[in-house]
Amino acid sequence: MSHYEAPIREPLVLGDKSYHDITEDIAKPIEGVANKNWYIAFYISLAATLWGFGCIFYTIGTGIGVWGLNKNIGWAWDITNFVWWVGIGHAGTLISAVLLLFRQKWRMAINRSAEAMTIFAVFQAGLFPLIHMGRPWNGYWVLPMPNQFGSLWVNFNSPLLWDVFAISTYLSVSLVFWWTGLLPDFAMIRDRAVKPFQKKIYALLSFGWSGRAKDWQRFEEVSLVLAGLATPLVLSVHTIVSMDFATSINPGWHSTIFPPYFVAGAIFSGFAMVQTLLGIMRKVTNLEDYITRMHIEYMNIVIILTGGIVAVAYATEFFIAWYTGSPYENYTYLSVGAATGPYAWAFWSLIIFNIITPQLLWIKKFRRSFIITFIISIAINIGMWFERFDIIAIVLSKGHLPSTWWRFEPTFVDVGIFVGTIGFFFVLFLLYARTFPVIAQAEVKTILKSSGEFYKKRREQGIPTKPAINVANVAGTTDKSNKE
Amino acid sequence: MYQFSGKLKTFSLALILVGLVGIGYGFYSAPKTVEEAKEVIAQQASHGDSHATSHEEVSVDGHKEESHGENHASVDADHSDAHAEHVLHQLKNKPWSAIYVALFFFLGTTLLVLAFYAIQRVAQAGWSILLFRVMEAITANLVPTSIVMVIIVASAVMHWNHMFPWMAEGVFDPTSPNYDPIVDGKSWWINVPGWAIRSIAYLAIWNAYRWFIRKNSIKEDTANDGGKTYKLSYNASVGFIFLFMITETMMSWDWIMGLDPHWFSTLFGWYVLSSLLVSALTVIALVTIYLRSKGALPGVNDSHIHDLAKYMFGFSIFWTYLWFSQFMLIWYADIPEETTYFAMRFNEYNFPFLAMVVMNFVFPVLLLLNSDFKSVPWFIVIGGVAILFGHYIDIFVMVMPGTVGAQWAFGIPEISAILFFLGVFIYATFSSFAKAGSVPIGNPFLEESKHYHYYNIEHRGEGSGDHH
């Protein structure tokens, strides 16, 4: 990779940092003790989690009828939340894999947390396919295992089965990718640890990483191969999720644009969630020199782009629904019927939160503002929840037969489980932020000298950033320039 | 500065000339009357050609044929006349379609080079600056292809051909035997003035950006105005990408999906986009390799080639992803009004339809997966030629079933059209490249591009002088 960097590029690491400073800054939250705010946040999240699990056990114990579903709308909050959580997870892989393939150095400060977010979000998503089953204890029947029913097999034609493979593969690969990247960082914590127990734990987690040249060489190649595999994976996972709907014959669901459009929406919502989390995290962990205004701006640009793609897809859906000439397409989630029907509030929430609000980010002042970014990111999270809710509930509420038209009202159990997953997500994320290196220090150290503010300034002023060594004097050979 | 060699100029002009002669032959040999069409049908029958019969089967369950104005319920005697007239329309469409496929392929590919160039600017890419002049030169082809497109638009509007079935007489007239209520229901979008105005608007927007950015890019070389010109180019490119996303989608509805006006697919716009994007990246790679071999691209090293090949590889897979998504979802749900589209292609275009998947997916994936191969010019040329042919076939299979149906062939008119546009492309590209310095010396990221070295690439190719 080139060591030259154009002067007009903004620095990625602010302040006069040395390698040691980076280590110190990143190790600090792990080596210190949690403050009161952390405990407050943690207990609130834990309470929500417990409440959510209570609702889950109540559902399984009593029956799925405690939810607001009815015989026409068999999917509503359960699958909405599932798709929402899977979508959020996608930004993590996008940041760590796609941005790696595109050699975006700014990803280095955010990839660790984005991947953590992926994994915790996929945990939440993974709950829903299980708990929305009528007989979850038979859930293992989805696996093609030899059995005593004459080797009764699964049918590989169902996208719900593809979901099983997609989500489980996605979780496994993301986990491996994340953990591989963590090895040098865990080793760093291990080497700094003073308490024997802590040292033991991090020694276990870091798999004996010693950072030899050969290890680094393999490490880089593995990262690249995994990024190359994770990119088609991330596209295919949300594609398969979209096919839960698109393979059906329901007007509004049966649409060929769903695969790429769901993926774009996933990146859109995932980045919004990264903004929400990092907006807080950079502040409370004092990592403002690493997660800078510029990182926030770049993520906002990705949000504008993917939001634009999603908007084009909405327009296409709206247009083609009309263009088909099919009267049934008149009550799809993006149609005139939906805009004026009983779910108009859901339709317009989608338009306002997903299309209109993010357009504010075209203004440079807004996309570099932490507070406005935070507000817009929350709006997008809400908007993208509505997108999935609209696709699922509005379409199901008015099917082909007028005698099947019905409405959906969630019960407290529907809401409780959703709140529970949000709580569970934050429990995991809060624990992560206290025990894991939240920034990949090994990666950030590779860009310090090319993209650090201190070094960039010195280069601009023409001051050498390393001492000139006269090679001739050292090795006794002919003089070579030591310049880059 | 690069010199457009007399040899290459003569070659491109020869291609244009041969292409024109072949195109003229295509029009000359197309049947003019129903009687001639009947002869063709009789000939096909005596050859034991399955086209005529299988065509009947398709038109029974595939109601797209109705848009051509046939009434299949009519009595047999009428039917044979109606059939002959239908075949006559298809045969008359053949030379037009041959031009249209090649035109759309070259116009679209050039457009996507322009879009990729705009993306490189907006993304502030550091590696591709040395290729900017190559991309700019290729986009010079946008002007002549746009002019031909305007002629094609005019020809369709003037009813010189029957390519767009919804333009046939009486389609919107409830009293006419040709009345098509489905198309009439879409007349708010599908109507001649709207279509023509939109078509011209797309071309105008694209050409305006191309004209502006080329001018500004040359100005950048000597501007020295503290990045003002650069910033202007950046903003223009953002604006273009915004408009491009919208116009490209609409263009694919108007120019391609409109050929089968009963059929629809929401993914279609992006599917066309992916096909043209792969072609565009391949064209950039091939022209770069050619110019580098002539010593016209100082500083372009194997890492630059490697990056282009990675894009070709990645977007070949992306194309396949969209192709499969569209196909599989329609196959899976099997809703008759959508399935006819693929039924027609499977029955009448079986070989090209499946061959293109091999050429556009299997071949590039196997060839370009290996990292070392991605910087070997002849590997990329082989892979690139397969990709370009594959995507030509892709366009062919998008266009032909709606215009010529079972009467398709790949013969003199089709080859001549390709040769003609290839000649235009070569002439436009290389004469444009000769008009400006081959290095955009005013670009703030130029030094990054000159120093660009992908970490595991061993530089062996020529012209990779100064990467140390």
- Residue A324 Ramachandran class (φ > 0 left, ψ -120 to 50 alpha, else beta): alpha
* Residue B203 φ/ψ, nearest 5 degrees: -60, -40
Q: In angstroms, what separates the C-alpha of A104 from chain B's closest C-alpha?
A: 10
pLDDT at A242: 95
Q: Which residues in chain B have Cβ-Cβ distances shorter than 8 Å to A218? A: none
What separation in angstroms does the CA of A236 have from each of A155, B80, B211, B270?
Answer: 20, 49, 39, 17
Least confident of A92-101, A339-348, B41-50, B350-359: B41-50
Quote the CA–CA distance of B85 and A281 in Å, as a whole number: 72
- Cβ contact, residue pair A249, B335, below 8 Å: yes
Burial string for A408-422 (b: 16+ CB within 10 Å, else e) reads bebeebbebbbbbbb
Confidence of residue A5 (pLDDT cuts 50, 70, 90): confident
- Determine contact: A2 vs chain B, CB below 8 A: yes
Ordered by start, the domain boundaries in chain B are: 6-58+70-460
Tell me which residue has tokens 């489905």: B182
CATH number among 3.40.50.10860, 1.25.60.10, 1.20.58.220, 1.20.1630.10, domain A19-136+155-461: 1.20.1630.10
Residue B111 parent element (H or E): helix B76-122
From the number of C-beta atoms within 10 Å of its C-beta (0-12, 13-18, 19+), residue A208 rates as exposed
Q: What is the pLDDT of residue A325?
A: 86
**DSSP character string of B331-379:** HHH--HHHHHHHHHHHHHSHHHHHHHHIIIIIHHHHHHSSTTGGG-HHH
Query: Is B332–A247 a contact, with Cβ atoms under 8 angstroms apart?
Result: yes
CA distance A358 to chain B (A): 15
The pLDDT, as a whole number, for residue A337 is 87
CA distance A305 to chain B (A): 9
pLDDT tens by residue, A353-403: 999 999 999 999 999 999 999 999 999 999 999 999 999 999 999 989 999
pLDDT in tens, A143-174: 999 999 998 999 999 999 999 999 999 999 99
Q: What is the pLDDT of residues A409-458, one digit of tens each?
A: 999 999 999 999 999 999 999 999 999 999 999 999 998 888 888 888 88
Q: What residues form DSSP beta bridges with A13?
A: A452
Taking the C-alpha atoms of residue B422 and residue B419, their distance in angstroms, rounded to an integer, is 5
Interface probe with B: pick from A294, A323, A367, most Cβ of B within 10 Å: A323
Give the residue ranges of chain B where pLDDT is below 70: 46-79, 461-468
Determine how many CB atoms are found less than 10 A away from the CB of residue B119: 17
**Interface touch A2/B329, C-beta < 8 Å:** no
Kindly determine whether residue A232 and residue B454, on different chains, have CB atoms separated by under 8 Å.
no
Beta carbons of A260 and B124 less than 8 Å apart: no
Do residues A386 and A350 touch, judged by C-beta distance below 8 A? yes
Give the DSSP letter of residue A76.
S
Tokens of A42: 């943690």
Which amino acid, B284? I
CA distance A382 to A223: 33
* Angle in degrees, CA B25, B26, B32, rounded to 5: 105
Residues 77-96 of A with CB under 8 A from B: none
Q: How close is the nearest chain A Cα to the Cα of B38, in Å?
A: 35
Percentage of chain A lying above the pLDDT 70 cut:
95
CB-based contact B265 A243, cutoff 8 Å: no
Please report the pLDDT score of residue A481 as a whole number: 44
Q: What is the pLDDT of residue B407?
A: 85
Cβ contact, residue pair A325, B186, below 8 Å: yes
Nearest Cα to Cα of residue A366 among A422, A306, A419, A303: A303
pTM of the model: 0.92
What length is written for chain B? Answer: 468
Please list every residue in chain B whose beta carbon sits closer than 8 Å to the beta carbon of residue A236. Answer: 321
Contact A254 B335 (CB under 8 A): yes
Give the other-Cβ count within 10 Å of A163's Cβ. 20
One DSSP character per residue, A383-448 reads: HHHHHHHIIIIIHHHS-SSGGG-------HHHHHHHHHHHHHHHHHHHHHHHHS-SS-HHHHHHHH
Assign B172 to helix, strand or coil: coil
Between the alpha carbon of residue B447 and those of residues B131, B158, B231, B308, the distances in Å are: 13, 53, 18, 19
Q: Which tokens go with A446?
A: 């590779």
- DSSP helix/strand/coil, A258: helix
For residue A316, give the nearest of B249, B314, B329 by CB distance.
Answer: B249
Rounded CA gap, A366 and B341, in Å?
A: 47
Task: Name every residue in B having a CB less than 8 A away from some CB of A.
Answer: 124, 126, 182, 185-186, 189, 227, 242, 245-246, 249, 253, 264-270, 314, 317, 321-322, 325-326, 329-330, 332-333, 335, 337, 444-445, 447-448, 451-455
A246 touches B at CB < 8 Å: yes
Whether A111 and A440 have beta carbons less than 8 Å apart is answered as yes
- The closest alpha carbon to B95, from B144, B28, B154, belongs to B28
| A56, two tokens | 């889950």
| DSSP structure string for B182-222 | HHHTTTTTS-HHHHHHHHHHHHHHHHHHHHHHHHHHHHHHH
Residue written as tokens 């070949």?
A: B316
CB-CB under 8 Å, A249 with B246:
no
How far, in Å, CA of B361 to CA of B408, rounded? 24
N residues, chain A: 484
Flag if A308 and B329 touch (Cβ within 8 Å). Answer: no
**For A256, which of B186, B326, B451 is closest by C-beta distance?**
B326
Structure tokens belonging to residue B216 = 């500004």
Which two tokens mark A216? Answer: 């680094």
What pLDDT does B93 receive?
87
Please name the amino acid found at residue A184.
P
Q: Over the stretch B338-378, which tens digit does the pLDDT of each residue have?
A: 999 999 999 999 999 999 999 999 999 999 998 888 989 99
The predicted structure's pLDDT at residue B461? 57
Does the pLDDT value for residue A474 go beyond 50?
Answer: no
Segment A247-264 shows an average pLDDT of 93
**Partners of residue A452 on adjacent β-strands:** A13
Query: Could you tell me which residues come within 8 angstroms of residue A160 by beta carbon, excluding any fewer than 6 positions away?
Result: A129, A142, A244
Q: Is A13 in contact with A449 (CB distance < 8 Å)?
A: no
Instruction: Count CB-CB contacts under 10 A for residue A428.
Output: 19
| Shortest Cα distance, chain A CAs vs residue B330, angstroms | 7
Q: Which residues in A lie closer than 8 A to residue B326 (C-beta atoms)?
A: 256
Distance CA B326, CA B318 (A): 12
Give the Cα separation of A451 and A454 in Å (integer): 9
B126 and A2 within 8 Å at the Cβ level: the answer is yes
Q: What's the rounded Cα separation, in Å, for the pair A343 and A333? A: 9
Residue B149 carries which side chain, given as an amino acid letter? Answer: M
Closest chain B residue to A262, measured at CA = B267
